[in-house]
Structure 1
Amino acid sequence: MKKYYITYFLASALILSGTVSCTRTTEPEQATEAVQAAQNIDQIFENYFEERLKLFPLEATAIADSRYNDQLPNDLSQEHKQQVKQLYQKYLDQINSLDRSKLAEQEQVSYDIFKYEMEKSLEAFNYPSELLPINQFWSLPITMAQLGSGSSNQPFKTPEDYRDFLGRIKGFTVWGDTAIANMRRGMAMGVILPRMLTQKVLPQLQAMVVDDPKKTIFWAPVENLPASFTAAQKDSIRQAYTKAIKEEVIPTYKKLHDFMRQEYLPKSRSTSGISGIKGGDAYYRYLVRYWTTTDMTPDQIFNIGQQEVARIRSEMEQVKQQVGFKGDLKAFFKYVNENPKFTPFKTPEQVLEGYRSIEQRMQPQLSKLFGITPKSRFEVRQTEAFRAASASAEYNPPAPDGSRPGIFYVPILDATKYNAVGMESLFLHEAIPGHHYQISIQQEQEGLPKFRKYAWYGAFGEGWALYSESLGKELGLYTDPYQYFGRLSDEMHRAIRLVVDVGIHAKGWTREQAIQYSLDNELTSEEAAVAEIERYMAIPGQALSYKIGELKIKELRQRAERELGAKFSISAFHDLILNGGVMPLAVLEKRIDEWIAEQKRG
């Protein structure tokens, strides 16, 4: 079957690329060529997605595809890197051999996104990400604990599910050895974490090193064995997990911890930004392009950030005056943070009910702004206790098969200290119409190839979620000036990121400078500011995606409103953005411009 497909593809590609020429094509022949082109591109996308899942089985698990739930490839190895690189190059060559002009409009969008993705993914191989495999924010040791807890994407419903995760544990031990070898190479090459981040990783690893397997998070699925299992099945699982946790999980975390404390920490660097490593300046410029899906320079982003900070500060001053507060903005931040009237809750359930009531209040207005809405179920849940202390509010997408709802997780350490200011904007961002609408609608769209259904571009996805915060007044929210101040605070948080991320990674700012800049300009505590700045140190460029994406969506809306006048429909505009799924911002802009031209003609 595969041989036949390749032969067919190459023959068609020759025709489509013009290598085999003919003097004139009739309309039926043109129609046939279009059908062939569509079949070819669909097959390319299908084959790519299938091959990708084999190399990235955690992605399969995330979309409830259980075929690879027992696999955890060593993605730090040279062999795996080479396989992934070959995958991208192979499919870039295939997409380049198609004639884009023969494709239908939606397929041209898919073509543009796919080509962009292959090219940017290949460019990543120029930079040494495998030498920095662990940080305190994103890394496999954290992911493994979440998967192994039984409350994340890894299912624990059947005996086979339990066997599957034992396979991933074996993979983790191999990964741990390679991580140490890679970090040693990084130390020798000057590619190493900042000292402050290494110090934050150590307690995360240490927490997994215990004497009793039953005291680890990995024991939770064993504690909650389904009642339908036989006594023999339960006994077998308990024995297997006791052995695996004791002999593989705990030793792997201990080995990583001891290496990082004894060898890595003394060599960790004193600089805060990625420019402190060999080749760091070029690496950061790539990461800026990667996360923003633009060709913007760090300097351009830094300047936009400063302008946005000044604009939002001015709006904050207006709210401060509106509520009659006497004192400067910093004093107002302190007042909003500490006054007991902003912490009205007594129990976690009251906090969750507060969020559910926001959805109910804006429900009547949603149909005016959106023609399409998700079919997927949605829930608000409290973040699990084991990770609440270091977690932010977040959205976990639904399983495409409906087996898992979209979940808005809210970390509540102490309900009596939970500040209500900003709850409305947070719900708009993480839940409705932010991440829940965008991700669910993308997954539910008929006709989108799978690589688009399950794709993620932070500039689009986070940009949409931040844009959603700006819809509060149109949705009947922000009637309380303090909730609107919360919205401004959230927007300020994303504007500050443009300044401090570039400041740290391209302008030589210290961690302390960046923390102080945050404290001077937003509603936050020192503890929260420290955690945020260290996050930006760990994942350079990611924090830029939110504001850059939001500004582009706002710009496109203003353009459409200006050019279409009375013909502009806000629900049609929103539906167009959502039904195509995430895409690079340049592709989105082209799509909106074509829509505007179409509306003018219509």
Structure 2
Amino acid sequence: MKKILILSLCVFSLYSCKDEVKKEPAVAINNTEFDDVLDDYFEESLKLYPLNATSQGDTRYNDMLPNFLSDEFRTSENDFYSSYKKTLAEVDDKLLTSSQQMSKEILLWECDRNLERLGFREELLPINQMWTMQLMMGQLASGASSQPFKTVEDYDNWLKRLEDYTSWLASAKVRMEEGIKTGHVLPKSLVVKITPQLKDMTEPNLDNHLFFTPIKNMPDSFSDVDVDRLTEAYSAMISEKIIPAYQSIYDFMNTEYMAAARTTSGIEGIPNGKEYYDYSIKLYTTTDMTADEIHQLGLSEVARISSEMEKIKKEVGFEGDLKAFFDFVRNKKELMPFTSPEQVIENFKVIHEKMKPQVDKLFGNQPKTPFEVRRTEAFREASASAEYNPGSIDGTRPGIFYTPIPDVTKYNMYSDEDLFLHEAIPGHHFQISLTQENEELPKFRKTLWYSAYGEGWALYTESLGKELGLYTDPYQYFGMLGAEMHRAIRLVVDTGLHSKGWTREQAIQYSLANEAESEAGITSEIERYMANPGQALSYKIGQLKIMELRAKAEKELGDKFDIKAFHNQVLETGCVPLALLEKKITTWILNSK
């Protein structure tokens, strides 16, 4: 990296001192050098975060797993982001194209947010029930995620990565012991959900152990010698290292940590919790909004959506109040028709076929990356929400919409059309796949994720249902309103939990009073917000900004407004902070006039 950076800085210095800066060749040379800086950043980031490389289909670091909890790793992160921030400070914007200027602004945002993150003690809270390393490694171990198990080398790579993983598990325990001493501990209600997940990984029967799954699915092409060697190596790794590591951390969390876990629900309950929540708001919304502003916005949106729900209640002839209608929808047997998980998956495919003819009317650019619907894996299904996992950049691994079906007899389908739009098409699958397939973007921007943009886009697409031929059933339209209400409620309960002293129970009751989700589902959601402060704010904040920008474009362009062109403008630059998206759309409107 350093040789290129030095050359790049020399070029910037040279042309800032000469009139020749206005000449096209000088700008072109500089553009190339700046592109090299962006490529260097991307390549170094993959080596720093090898799991990201694996998820993108890059196999070079599949045997690596740095100890993200160590002081040494955190120092390397600090050096990495500080170095690139310093480099970017030397870059003259006048020598960059508009696309490169956006890349520079995005990369500065990345550096600033990560350096800010390193000022907090996140490593003292290494495990939660929703997002953290032990769950990611479980997905990879299943053989159904991004870690490949096609060659003998793939199998050996995973063994090496597991060796590093046992070190991470040991460090997680040490960090949590440190967290007990400093007051950085999880709420007890979350610890109760984590311990069964850990206990499952202490299963002594290898045939039933998740981490033994790759051995049970070895390719027929492997030689008998390789089969025997790998079977023995995996058996020893799981029996002698993985199971004992899980047993140790389970015993610790189920006793000492459980006793030390806090009774407060919000992140304000840890040292510097208020400052951490302010950081989280900025990280996830990419705005400068305050917790109070977001809380009030949430209350306003809840009131607006409630009035729309009243119209649906009246349309279907329900006599009771809205809360009673929620219970009616939750328990309506006709909305729980399935007897097997396969029927749930098939219903999503039917939804896809129904909307296909209308998609071309709204979207000119559509992804080539293939797409699948799958049931969430059993080991994480009980605590999981529906989600989208991106395909690989080269298109060899499809995008996957995972839906949990823990009890098919209680699976309520009233929001399935809306859910498909959000998680699949034209939501996350279109947005992420088009970004990854865009050859005009530098590599580091193809895999960026800004929740306000990404989740905001997916929530915006839920509003397109009628334009796509869906929501003809009032219950499915109510499902859309319910999903939007769910995101509006998040603004209220997330800020309530983390900045207003709300308890877990208060947040659950507020949700039950304002939406039609089951109590079990709401409880899981509230605990999710407790585990990851601020993330739940991003959906509604992003959606409202995209809807605002569409309304602005429709008003200012009138008959010249083209919905395909608008969607292309929003999607073509990939994930960006909302301020940069607004600047881009405003420029597009002016140029379109």
TM-score normalised over the length of structure 2:
0.98
Partner of 1:447: 440
Comparing 437-446 and 212-221, the one that deviates more: 212-221
Given candidates 551, 573, 576, the residue that maps to 1:580 is 573
Give distance in 1, aligned partners of 2:203 and 2:585: 55
Following TM superposition, by how much is the alpha carbon of 1:3 offset from its aligned partner in structure 2, in angstroms? 5.7
CA contact (8 A) 2:125 2:176 kept: yes
Partner of 1:12: 11
Q: Which whole-Å deviations, capped at 9, do the CAs of 1:439-461 have from their partners, x for residues lacking one? A: 00000001201110011111100
Partner of 1:361: 354
Give distance in 2, aligned partners of 1:414 and 1:7: 59
Comparing 179-188 and 5-14, the one that deviates more: 5-14
CA contact (8 A) 1:284 1:505 kept: yes
CA contact (8 A) 2:436 2:447 kept: yes
Give distance in 1, aligned partners of 2:176 and 2:375: 36
Q: How does 1:248-327 map to 2 (within 5 A)?
A: 248-327=241-320
Comparing 466-475 and 91-100, the one that deviates more: 91-100
CA contact (8 A) 1:137 1:535 kept: yes
CA contact (8 A) 1:443 1:453 kept: yes
Give distance in 1, aligned partners of 2:378 and 2:136: 16
Partner of 1:169: 162
* Residue identity in the other structure for 1:467: Y
Comparing 58-67 and 207-216, the one that deviates more: 207-216
* Residue identity in the other structure for 2:388: Y
Q: How does 1:51-450 map to 2 (within 5 A)?
A: 51-450=44-443
Give distance in 2, aligned partners of 1:5 and 1:598: 36
In structure 2, the gaps of 5 or more residues are none
CA contact (8 A) 1:41 1:95 kept: no
Give distance in 2, aligned partners of 1:185 and 1:3: 37
CA contact (8 A) 1:53 1:59 kept: yes
* Residue identity in the other structure for 1:311: R
Q: How does 1:515-594 map to 2 (within 5 A)?
A: 515-594=508-587
Q: Which whole-Å deviations, capped at 9, do the CAs of 1:446-489 have from their partners, x for residues lacking one? A: 12011100111111000000000000011111111111000000
**What percentage of residue pairs aligned between the two structures are identical?**
53
CA contact (8 A) 1:37 1:98 kept: no
Give distance in 1, aligned partners of 2:180 and 2:340: 48
Give distance in 1, aligned partners of 2:271 and 2:404: 38
CA contact (8 A) 1:455 1:582 kept: yes
CA contact (8 A) 1:272 1:511 kept: yes
CA contact (8 A) 2:8 2:30 kept: no
* Residue identity in the other structure for 2:289: M
Say what the alpha-carbon RMSD is for the aligned residues. 1.3
Give distance in 1, aligned partners of 2:178 and 2:406: 40
CA contact (8 A) 1:155 1:161 kept: yes
Q: Which whole-Å deviations, capped at 9, do the CAs of 1:363-412 have from their partners, x for residues lacking one? A: 12111111100011111222233332222221111112222111112222
Give distance in 1, aligned partners of 2:242 and 2:193: 20
Following TM superposition, by how much is the alpha carbon of 1:247 offset from its aligned partner in structure 2, in angstroms? 1.2
Comparing 54-63 and 137-146, the one that deviates more: 137-146
Q: How does 1:457-468 map to 2 (within 5 A)?
A: 457-468=450-461
Following TM superposition, by how much is the alpha carbon of 1:26 offset from its aligned partner in structure 2, in angstroms? 7.3
Following TM superposition, by how much is the alpha carbon of 1:5 offset from its aligned partner in structure 2, in angstroms? 2.2
Give the length in aligned residue pairs. 593
Following TM superposition, by how much is the alpha carbon of 1:552 offset from its aligned partner in structure 2, in angstroms? 0.6
* Residue identity in the other structure for 2:284: W
Give distance in 1, aligned partners of 2:586 and 2:187: 44
CA contact (8 A) 1:127 1:283 kept: yes
Q: Does residue 25 of structure 1 match 2:24?
A: no
Q: Which whole-Å deviations, capped at 9, do the CAs of 1:244-291 have from their partners, x for residues lacking one? A: 001111111111111212221111111110101111111101101101
Q: Does residue 499 of structure 1 match 2:498?
A: no
Give distance in 1, aligned partners of 2:125 and 2:410: 37
What is the SS of the residue equivalent to 2:60? Answer: helix
* Residue identity in the other structure for 2:512: L
Give distance in 2, aligned partners of 1:188 and 1:522: 40
Following TM superposition, by how much is the alpha carbon of 1:348 offset from its aligned partner in structure 2, in angstroms? 2.5
What is the SS of the residue equivalent to 1:46? Answer: helix
What is the SS of the residue equivalent to 1:67? Answer: coil
CA contact (8 A) 1:169 1:248 kept: no
Following TM superposition, by how much is the alpha carbon of 1:4 offset from its aligned partner in structure 2, in angstroms? 4.2
Give distance in 2, aligned partners of 1:141 and 1:480: 41
CA contact (8 A) 1:382 1:409 kept: yes
Following TM superposition, by how much is the alpha carbon of 1:118 offset from its aligned partner in structure 2, in angstroms? 1.1
Q: Which whole-Å deviations, capped at 9, do the CAs of 1:551-584 have from their partners, x for residues lacking one? A: 1101111111111111111110001111110000
TM-score normalised over the length of structure 1:
0.97
Partner of 1:513: 506
Q: 1:7 to 1:540 in 2, by over 3 A?
A: closer
Following TM superposition, by how much is the alpha carbon of 1:352 offset from its aligned partner in structure 2, in angstroms? 1.8
What is the SS of the residue equivalent to 1:15? Answer: helix
Give distance in 2, aligned partners of 1:559 and 1:304: 20
Give distance in 1, aligned partners of 2:485 and 2:58: 39
